[in-house]
């Protein structure tokens, strides 16, 4: 007993160090995949309000370019409005569309904090559960996809952006339909890669890469980027595809959050698939 | 009492400056300036190591919660706090540390500061980037980030001391 007490006294600094280190590291590694709480992220109200103040100060720096972007999008959308079309056929009256049903809704939001040159980059948005945002929803901007909601508090939310190591969104090449998983290697914030495309599929350079819409996080066909370089993975029959993101994540400010009205239905159906049993 | 207030103010300054200014500076080339290890080095010489570790924990958690790193800064800062007494002992002046002084350039001299702070900052940066990448085949990138960020962080810390910490002395 005496020896034990002496041992603890002798190594108490080291023991405390190890204890705290274990706490910090376990928090870090579990949060990369599944956040345990919102209190130690920018989704917490204290950190969120600090960042809101900072955003209020710095938001004007990119005001010009952001206005221009929104204006362009407005023009594009305005073109699609009914009053910008001439009616060609007066005989058709639209009553209740039973062929199409709304599947996706969009919630606008603003990025109040973002980084782009860390290994894992998270963006903070200024809207949260009170606006109907839930964990796992997709986020995109007018130019391309941004990421997936990782953590939500009442008024803020944290996005796990495509600039993280294990984002693994399913994307496809628009022309051929070949699909793979989106990855990021952590070096250049403009360049990502696609994993898992078999090398017997012909791929052209500069063809468009869009979302596949398989998991219901994003609607099908949202822009991701363009193929920049093709190579082969050593020892595997796979292409090594690098793509240039269509969105510049260094200047991102206005984003939309995807709300899939049929997500529950899809999940319910997919839960019925029997899982492979490992023996 | 005065010393507690001084260090509390410094704590606020370092946490806010790091998370709101230096974490947002995206210089490119993987440079990520980190100044908060200076806060740990500037704490009084006589401080208990257990207390030092707890202060490092709190500082790290505050910075982490403001920059979405989930414990990365905490872990690196704990390493600095744990090694501080050891490094201080190695580079101790011949007649020991003066309890009235603190570990700044103006009080301990350029030479002492380069060795002590340089080594602690190197270990901190290497630990930080190693955990951030966490892959051995990216060791070159880890080294590149460490080597490029280290001088920037060091210079920033020296500048901060010239501007804020040093007081005019009459001797």
Q: Which of B105, B79, B121 is nearest to B163 (CA)?
A: B105
Q: Are residues A91 and A220 in the same domain?
A: yes
Q: Are residues A22 and A128 in the same domain?
A: no
Give the residue from chain A lying closest to B51, CA to CA.
A13
Number of CB pairs, chain A paired with chain B, less than 8 A apart: 98
Backbone angles phi, psi at A68, to 5 degrees: -60, -45
The domain that holds A256 is classified in CATH as 2.40.10.340
Q: What is the spatial distance between Cα A85 and Cα B93, in angstroms, rounded to a whole number? A: 84
Identify the residue with better confidence: B1 or A82.
B1
Q: Which of A191, A33, A186 is nearest to A115 (CA)?
A: A186
> Which residues of chain B neighbour A20 with C-beta distances below 8 Å?
53, 56-57, 74, 78
pLDDT digits (tens, 9 = 90+) for B111-148: 889 999 999 999 999 999 998 888 778 888 889 889 99
pLDDT digits (tens, 9 = 90+) for B72-104: 899 999 999 999 999 998 988 888 888 778 888
Q: Are residues A8 and A84 in the same domain?
A: no
Tell me whether residues B75 and A116 touch, CB distance under 8 A: no
Q: Which of A255, A101, A117, A252 is nearest to B22 (CA)?
A: A117
Q: Which of A255, A253, A257, A256 is nearest to A63 (CA)?
A: A253
> Which residues of chain A neighbour B31 with C-beta distances below 8 Å?
117
Tell me whether residues B65 and A21 touch, CB distance under 8 A: no
Q: Are residues A166 and A187 in the same domain?
A: yes
Give the residue from chain B lying closest to A38, CA to CA.
B65
Q: By 3-state DSSP, what share of chain A in percent is helix, strand and coil, each rounded to 5?
A: 30, 25, 45
Looking at residue A20, its pLDDT comes to: 92
Looking at residue A250, its pLDDT comes to: 84
pLDDT digits (tens, 9 = 90+) for B23-73: 887 777 778 899 999 999 989 888 889 999 999 999 999 998 888 888 889
User: Domain for residue A191, yes or no?
Assistant: yes
Q: Are residues A236 and A152 in the same domain?
A: yes
Tell me whether residues B68 and A187 touch, CB distance under 8 A: no
Q: Are residues A143 and A20 in the same domain?
A: no
- What is the DSSP track for B23-79? TT---STT-----THHHHHHS-TT--HHHHHHHHHHHHHHHHHHHT-TTHHHHHHHH
pLDDT digits (tens, 9 = 90+) for B4-23: 898 999 999 999 999 888 88
Model pTM above 0.90:
no
pLDDT-derived band at B151 (thresholds 50, 70, 90) equals very high
Give the residue from chain A lying closest to B56, CA to CA.
A20
Find the CB nearest B50 among A16, A41, A250.
Answer: A16
Tell me whether residues A20 and B57 touch, CB distance under 8 A: yes
User: Domain for residue A11, yes or no?
Assistant: yes
3-state secondary structure of A170: strand
Looking at residue A168, its pLDDT comes to: 83
Give me the interface pTM, i.e. the ipTM.
Answer: 0.85
Looking at residue A17, its pLDDT comes to: 92
* Position B153 pLDDT exceeds 90: yes
Q: Are residues A67 and A157 in the same domain?
A: yes
Contact A151, A137 (CB under 8 A): no
Domain containing A24: what range? 2-28
Contact A227, A239 (CB under 8 A): no
- CB atoms under 10 Å from CB of A46, counted, come to 12
User: Domain for residue A274, yes or no?
Assistant: no
Q: Are residues A111 and A19 in the same domain?
A: no
User: Domain for residue A267, yes or no?
Assistant: no
> Which residues of chain B neighbour A40 with C-beta distances below 8 Å?
61, 64-65, 70-71
User: Domain for residue A271, yes or no?
Assistant: no
Q: Are residues A183 and A229 in the same domain?
A: yes
B81 to A18, B45, B105: CA distances (angstroms) = 12, 12, 19
3-state secondary structure of A193: strand
User: Domain for residue A275, yes or no?
Assistant: no
Task: Report CA dihedral (A216, A222, A226, A227) to the nearest 10 degrees.
Answer: 20
A24 and B CB contact within 8 Å: yes
Find the CB nearest B70 among A27, A47, A187.
Answer: A27
Looking at residue A34, its pLDDT comes to: 67
Rounded to the nearest 5 degrees, what angle is found at the Cα of A188, between the Cα atoms of A183 and A193?
25
User: Domain for residue A107, yes or no?
Assistant: yes
Find the CB nearest A21 among B30, B75, B138.
Answer: B75
Q: Are residues A230 and A130 in the same domain?
A: yes
User: Domain for residue A266, yes or no?
Assistant: no
Total count of domains within chain A: 2
Q: What is the spatial distance between Cα A19 and Cα A6, in angstroms, rounded to a whole number? A: 19
Looking at residue B171, its pLDDT comes to: 43
Tell me whether residues A13 and B60 touch, CB distance under 8 A: no
**How close B61 comes to chain A (CA, Å)?**
7
Residues 6+ apart with CB under 8 A from A164: A119, A120, A121, A122, A147, A184
pLDDT tens string, chain A, 279 residues long: the values are: 788 888 888 888 899 999 999 988 888 888 776 666 666 666 777 777 878 888 877 777 777 778 878 878 887 887 776 666 555 555 555 555 566 677 788 888 888 888 888 888 889 988 888 888 888 899 988 888 999 998 888 888 999 999 888 888 889 888 888 888 898 887 888 888 888 888 888 888 888 999 888 778 888 888 899 998 888 888 888 888 899 999 888 888 888 888 888 888 888 888 888 776 554
Looking at residue B36, its pLDDT comes to: 93
Helix axes A12-33, B49-67, angle to 10 degrees: 10
B146 and A CB contact within 8 Å: no
Looking at residue B156, its pLDDT comes to: 92
Contact A117, A87 (CB under 8 A): no
A118 and B CB contact within 8 Å: yes
Q: Are residues A121 and A15 in the same domain?
A: no
Q: Are residues A11 and A145 in the same domain?
A: no
Q: What is the spatial distance between Cα B138 and Cα B44, in angstroms, rounded to a whole number? A: 38
């Amino acid at each position: 007993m005496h020896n034990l007490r002496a041992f603890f006294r002798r190594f108490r600094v080291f023991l405390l160090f190890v204890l705290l280190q274990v706490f910090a590291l376990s928090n870090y590694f579990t949060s990369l995949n599944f956040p345990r709480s919102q209190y130690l992220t920018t989704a917490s109200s204290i950190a969120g309000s600090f960042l809101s103040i900072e955003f209020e100060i710095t938001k004007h720096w990119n005001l010009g370019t952001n206005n221009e972007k929104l204006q362009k999008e407005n023009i594009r959308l305005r073109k699609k409005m009914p009053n910008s079309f001439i009616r060609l056929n007066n005989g058709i009256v639209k009553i209740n569309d039973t062929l199409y049903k709304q599947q996706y809704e969009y919630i606008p939001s603003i990025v109040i904090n973002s980084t782009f040159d860390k290994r894992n980059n998270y963006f903070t948005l200024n809207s949260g559960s009170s606006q109907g945002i839930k964990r796992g929803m997709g986020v995109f901007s007018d130019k391309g996809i941004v990421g997936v909601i990782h953590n939500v508090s009442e008024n803020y939310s944290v996005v796990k952006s495509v600039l993280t190591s294990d984002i693994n969104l399913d994307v496809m090449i628009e022309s051929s339909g070949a699909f793979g998983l989106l990855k990021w290697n952590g070096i250049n914030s403009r360049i990502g890669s696609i994993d898992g495309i078999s090398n017997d599929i012909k791929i052209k350079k500069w063809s468009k890469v869009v979302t596949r819409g398989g998991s219901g996080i994003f609607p099908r066909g949202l822009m991701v980027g363009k193929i920049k370089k093709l190579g082969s993975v050593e020892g595997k029959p796979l292409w090594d595809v690098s793509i240039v993101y269509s969105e510049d994540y260094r200047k991102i400010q206005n984003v939309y959050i995807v709300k899939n009205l049929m997500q529950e239905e899809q999940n319910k159906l997919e839960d019925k698939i029997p899982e492979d049993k490992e023996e | 009492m005065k010393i507690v207030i001084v260090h509390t103010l410094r704590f606020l300054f370092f946490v806010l400056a790091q998370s709101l200014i230096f974490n947002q500076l995206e210089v490119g080339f993987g440079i990520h300036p980190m100044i908060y290890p200076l806060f740990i080095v500037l704490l009084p010489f006589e401080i208990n190591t257990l207390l030092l570790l707890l202060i490092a924990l709190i500082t790290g958690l505050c910075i982490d919660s403001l920059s979405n790193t989930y414990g990365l800064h905490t872990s690196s800062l704990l390493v600095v706090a744990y090694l501080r007494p050891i490094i201080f002992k190695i580079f101790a002046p011949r007649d020991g540390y003066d309890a009235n002084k603190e570990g700044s350039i103006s009080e301990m001299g350029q030479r002492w500061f380069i060795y002590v702070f340089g080594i602690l900052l190197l270990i901190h940066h290497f630990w930080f980037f190693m955990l951030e990448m966490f892959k051995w085949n990216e060791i070159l990138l880890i080294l590149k980030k460490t080597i490029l960020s280290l001088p920037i962080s060091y210079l920033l810390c020296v500048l901060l001391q010239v501007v804020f910490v040093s007081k005019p002395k009459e001797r």
